[in-house]
Amino acid sequence: MHQGKTFIISGPSGVGKSTVLHELFKGRDDLYFSISATTREPREGEEDGVHYHFIDVKHFQELIEADALLEYAEYVGNFYGTPKKYVDKAMNEGKDVILDIEVQGALQVCTKRPETVRIFIAPPSWDELERRLTSRGTDSPDKIQKRLLRAKAELQTADVYDYFVINDSVERAVREINAIMIAEHCKPADRMKILSE
Amino acid sequence: MHQGKTFIISGPSGVGKSTVLHELFKGRDDLYFSISATTREPREGEEDGVHYHFIDVKHFQELIEADALLEYAEYVGNFYGTPKKYVDKAMNEGKDVILDIEVQGALQVCTKRPETVRIFIAPPSWDELERRLTSRGTDSPDKIQKRLLRAKAELQTADVYDYFVINDSVERAVREINAIMIAEHCKPADRMKILSE
Nearest-CB residue to B182 (from A179, A184, A194): A179
Domains of chain A: 6-195 (3.40.50.300)
Contacts of B182 (CB under 8 A, 6+ apart): A175, A176, A179, A180, A183
Nearest-CB residue to A188 (from B158, B178, B180): B158
pTM equals 0.90
Comparing B193 with A173, the larger pLDDT belongs to A173
> For B14-34, how does the pLDDT look when each residue is reduced to its tens digit (9 = 90+)?
888 999 999 999 999 999 999
Q: For chain A, what percent of residues have pLDDT higher than 90?
A: 66
Nearest-CB residue to B163 (from A187, A194, A195): A187
> For A96-148, how does the pLDDT look when each residue is reduced to its tens digit (9 = 90+)?
999 999 888 999 999 999 999 999 998 888 888 888 888 888 888 888 888 88
Q: What mean pLDDT value characterizes chain A?
A: 91
User: How far is the alpha carbon of B178 from chain A, nearest alpha carbon, in Å?
Assistant: 8
Position B55 scores a pLDDT of 97
69-128 of A, contacting B, C-beta below 8 A: 119, 122, 125
Q: Indicate the DSSP class of residue A3.
A: P
Q: What is the full per-residue pLDDT of chain B (197 aa) written as tens digits?
A: 589 999 999 988 888 899 999 999 999 999 999 999 999 999 999 999 999 999 999 999 999 999 999 999 998 899 999 999 999 999 999 999 999 998 889 999 999 999 999 999 988 888 888 888 888 888 888 888 888 888 888 777 777 899 999 999 999 999 999 999 999 999 988 787 766 65
A195 confidence band (pLDDT: 50, 70, 90): low
